[in-house]
Amino acid sequence: MRTFRYDKLVRDKIVPRMEAEGSHVKWRKLDDAEFEKALREKIKEEMAEATASGYEASEVADVHEAVDALERLGISWNDPVYHAMDQFDSPVKREGVSEVDRIEAEQEARRAHLGGYLGRMFVETVGVSRDNPWLEHYLGNPDRYTEVA
C-alpha cells in the first residue's frame, strides 16, 4: 500500500466512496475554528478552479457550497470572503437569472451526489494499493499529494 498526504476538507460522501473503492482513509472531524479555516482554504481552491474553467456551472456551484457552509457558521456578511464572492460572481451575474438558476440547480445536484460539508470531514492521508485506479492520479499530482512513508 502507498500512502499520500491529502490534507483537505472533503464533502460528506467522499470518504465513504473512497473506502468503497478500496482506499484506506485517515480522516478527522474538524472543530469550529479548524472548520472555518478549512472552508476558507476550500473557497480559495474552488474559486481558482472555477476561474480556470471559465466559470463552468459545476465549478461555480462548488464555490457556493463552501460559502454556504461558512455562512452556516455564522460568519458576518462584513467578512472579506463575501466581498471576494461579489467580484467572483460578477461574470455569472452578467449572464442573467437563468444562469443563476442553473448554478443553484447544479449545486443541489452536486450536494445530492457528493454531499455537503456538514460532517466537517478533513482527510489527512489516503492509502491505496498498487491496483487501485486512483494510484496514478496521486502519483501524477505530487504537488497536491505527497507520498508519505
The pLDDT tens digits of the residues spanning 43-52 come to 989 988 988 9
- Residue ranges per structural domain of the chain: 1-30+120-149, 32-117
145 Rama sector, left if φ>0, alpha if ψ -120 to 50, beta otherwise: beta
Q: How far apart are CA 146 and CA 144, in angstroms?
A: 6
Which DSSP symbol is given to 142? Answer: T
CA distances to 9, 93, 141 from 74, in Å: 19, 25, 35
User: What angle is formed at CA 20 by the lines to CA 19 and CA 21, rounded to 5 degrees?
Assistant: 90
Query: What count of residues does the chain have?
Result: 149
For 5, phi then psi, to 5°, come to -70, 130
**How many other CB atoms sit within 10 Å of the CB of residue 99?**
16
pLDDT in tens, 101-122: 888 899 999 999 999 999 999 9
Note the pLDDT of residue 29. Answer: 98
Residues of the chain with pLDDT under 50: none
